[in-house]
A and B are shown apart, each in its own frame.
Chain A
Amino acid sequence: GAGVSQSPSNKVTEKGKDVELRCDPISGHTALYWYRQRLGQGLEFLIYFQGNSAPDKSGLPSDRFSAERTGESVSTLTIQRTQQEDSAVYLCASSQREGLEAFFGQGTRLTVV
């Protein structure tokens, strides 16, 4: 596609529910990243996919967070048993290959009530 697409753009969920966030990277981009941005703060790395290699999950804050990516296509970030501290904007980015600039989606604003 023309850019990185994320859905939904906004999500309000009740504490304790599971949510799934979707990211469609730019076609042909082998690297895909998920970040979290809390209100007024910088970007916190969550997880990195590169081609068919095992993902780098070192940024996931707890075992309630998981992500999948099939090949070089869509990725989903799942948060189980959501907590209020999970409220943030979740940003997805892709790059043509490692070390090149990342292109960001508009993000999913998650609000846990």
Chain B
Amino acid sequence: AQSVTQLDSHVSVSEGTPVLLRCNYSSSYSPSLFWYVQHPNKGLQLLLKYTSAATLVKGINGFEAEFKKSETSFHLTKPSAHMSDAAEYFCVVSPASGGSYIPTFGRGTSLIVHP
């Protein structure tokens, strides 16, 4: 069994300040973890992925995430928010091996960026 909890439904930041979107997961198997971004009326785009290599993962647009097994977390960060980062962000877990390979999505976090 697997599940994902995104701890904040909305995060509001000012342009130029750091971004932190929190994600905790549960998985009976060694997980693969992903962050996707969805801009308004657009499709889902992969930001970054963790697949049991380096625990600090760098993605597109300056985002990165750190896999912490002891905390079962995969939080998404960015040092400096840009207006174009305003979107919905989804944390996703899928077993790297074993179990059901169906990617399980969190409920999403809406990132609001103020000028």
Contact = CB atoms under 8 A, between A and B. Distances in A.
Interface of A: 31, 33, 35, 41-43, 45, 48, 50, 56, 59, 91, 93, 98-107
A106 B104 contact: no
A99 B43 contact: no
Q: How large is the interface on B (under 10, 10 to 19, 20 to 34, 35 or more residues)?
A: 20 to 34
Nearest to B43: A106
A104 B44 contact: yes
A91 B108 contact: no
Given A42-B107, A43-B90, A48 B102 contact: yes
Contacts of A101: 32, 34, 46, 49
A99 B100 contact: no
Given A42-B90, A48-B101, A99-B101, A105 B96 contact: no
Interface centre among B90, B102, B105 (most CB of A within 10 A): B102
Interface of B: 32, 34, 36, 42-46, 49, 51, 90, 94-97, 100-108
Contact of B43 (A48, A100, A104): A104
Contacts of B32: 99-101
A35 B36 CA distance: 14
Given A99-B96, A99-B97, A100-B32, A105 B43 contact: yes
B11 to A, nearest CB: 16
A102 B103 contact: yes
7 contacts: A31-B101, A43-B105, A48-B102, A99-B95, A100-B51, A101-B49, A106-B42
Contacts of B51: 99-100
A32 to B, nearest CB: 11
Of A59, A100, A105, A107, which is in contact with the most chain B CB atoms at under 10 Å from its CB?
A100
A45 B102 contact: yes
A102 B106 CA distance: 15
